[in-house]
Amino acid sequence: MNFDINEVLADMLTKIKNNVDENWDQVKDTSNQFLQNKKERLELLAELRISGELSEEKFQSRLKDEKLVLEAELHAIAVISKAIAQRATNGAIEVLEKAIRTAISTIL
């Protein structure tokens, strides 16, 4: 399985950084903490999808849930707007989804 949760979380954090631009210094530590708090849950989600134990439909539903939670967490950081939080969240979740799909494609 070609899926490294630490690499994926680092890429997700970079994607958030790219979307918050000048506010990065204010949100860096908190954003990293949010992702680290999700590490085990996201790793399990990836493992279940990669192994085929989680269907694409349920995977997409879980991704949607993760996106909503991350967006709510980012909204809690008052220095960034809703649009920036949404872009940062979408980018971060896209990184996770791409990494999982890549890992699946190496198995098949």
Report how many domains make up the chain: 1
**Domain limits for position 82:** 5-107
How does the average pLDDT of the chain come out, rounded? 91
Residue 22 has pLDDT above 60, yes or no: yes
Extract long-range pairs of 68-77: CB within 8 Å, 24+ residues apart: 69/38, 70/34, 70/38, 73/34, 74/16, 74/27, 74/31, 74/34, 77/26, 77/27, 77/30, 77/31
C-alpha count within 13 angstroms, C-beta hemisphere, residue 66: 27
Tens of pLDDT, residues 82-99: 788 888 899 999 999 999
Tens of pLDDT, residues 43-76: 999 999 999 999 999 999 999 999 999 988 888 8
Torsion of CA 9, 39, 95, 46, to 10 degrees: 140
Rounded CA-CA distance 60/24 in Å is 29
pTM of the model: 0.79
